Amino acid sequence: MVDDAAEDDTIGSFPFLMPKVSPKTPDLYLCTPIKVDPTTSYYIVGYKPNATMNTAHHMLLYGCGEPGTSKTTWNCGEMAKSTEEETGSPCGPHSHSQILYAWARDAPKLDLPDGVGFKVGKDSPTKYLVLQVHYAHIDKFKDGSTDDSGIFLHYTEKPLKKLAGTLLLGTDGVIPAMKTEHMEAACEITENKTIYPFAYRTHTHGLGKVVSGYRVRTNDKGIQEWTLLGKRDPLTPQMFYNVENKSPIVTGDFVAARCTMKSTRHRATQIGPTNEDEMCNFYLMYYVDEGEPLEMKYCFSQGAPYYYWANPDTGLHDIPHIEASTL
């Protein structure tokens, strides 16, 4: 058995940083890619944010099959107006895409559990990494200053058995004017796998009040037990937090998420990419202790007014309606 000190020698650190950019417009989302060596499998085991000068509002790390464009940097905001020429998503339109890390102001560094890593490169659909940095304010750049915010990726080439994955639950739908609405999604785990949840992240725009995520399991009496994975005010820093309950999620369990949205607008609000629109996302980060992570990367519903947990065809009952919407 190799002792820990010797094992630590196998951990490398790769600085994945913005190439000295100088944002000219406020509220800008910028992306920059790196191609992962396709002949080698790497396992990312931790992330250390390098957000310099307090300029970055938040950062996301995407694993992609192809990057959104071939440029060295591009405007890739979900709020981006498609009329500008250098816009594009972080990942290519039909490529593999998943979020591997999220950082927001005041967030501590994230270490994956011992022996757990995200596999990238060879034998992985992740062939590129794309760093997205959101610059909310640009006063610091007026004098021509540049920024190299980014992430130090801690990685090993030593094969890890426990592979990490992320599952994104989200909805489509509409929030009516002057109403509180529940946007809900749920999926059954049908793959023959056991997953071990360890972190979660919530995301909405301005109308989100509470986002909650659950594991739902039917006990021998036929009653569904809803176990809270995580719940928070989505307008607090949108990073990954430790789950409330690390119990395994097995075949036949459901994962379920709800966003409680409160609109004081005099118009309906659609789910969509811009600030005028709304979003409902709950990310679950987990690992498997053998084999590959889930093939299911996304769990999306039509959302309100079409889809609710309480619909007769969802297979869900014993719903904790009050708990799921209160902090």
Return the bridge partners of 130, or none.
33, 62
Q: Which residues are annotated as a binding site for Cu(2+)?
A: 57-58, 134, 203, 205, 279
Phi/psi at 66 (nearest 5 deg)? Answer: -140, 145
The answer to whether the CB of 210 falls within 8 A of the CB of 260 is: yes
Q: Verify whether residue 57 is a known catalytic residue.
A: yes
Chain position carrying tokens 């610091």: 140
Alpha helices, H only, the chain: 4-8
Instruction: Indicate which residue of 59, 239, 279, 285 is catalytic.
Output: 279
Q: Which residues are annotated as a binding site?
A: 57-58, 134, 203, 205, 279
Instruction: Indicate which residue of 18, 98, 132, 183 is catalytic.
Output: 132
Distance CA 299, CA 304 (A): 15
Instruction: Indicate which residue of 57, 59, 238, 261 is catalytic.
Output: 57
Q: Verify whether residue 321 is a known catalytic residue.
A: no
Q: Verify whether residue 94 is a known catalytic residue.
A: no
Q: Verify whether residue 203 is a known catalytic residue.
A: yes
DSSP string of 124-138, one letter each residue: SS--EEEEEEEE---
Q: Verify whether residue 239 is a known catalytic residue.
A: no
DSSP string of 142-156, one letter each residue: TTS--B--EEEEEEE
Instruction: Indicate which residue of 18, 59, 134, 154 is catalytic.
Output: 134
Instruction: Indicate which residue of 59, 183, 205, 285 is catalytic.
Output: 205
Instruction: Indicate which residue of 203, 238, 239, 285 is catalytic.
Output: 203
Catalytic residues: 57-58, 132, 134, 203, 205, 279
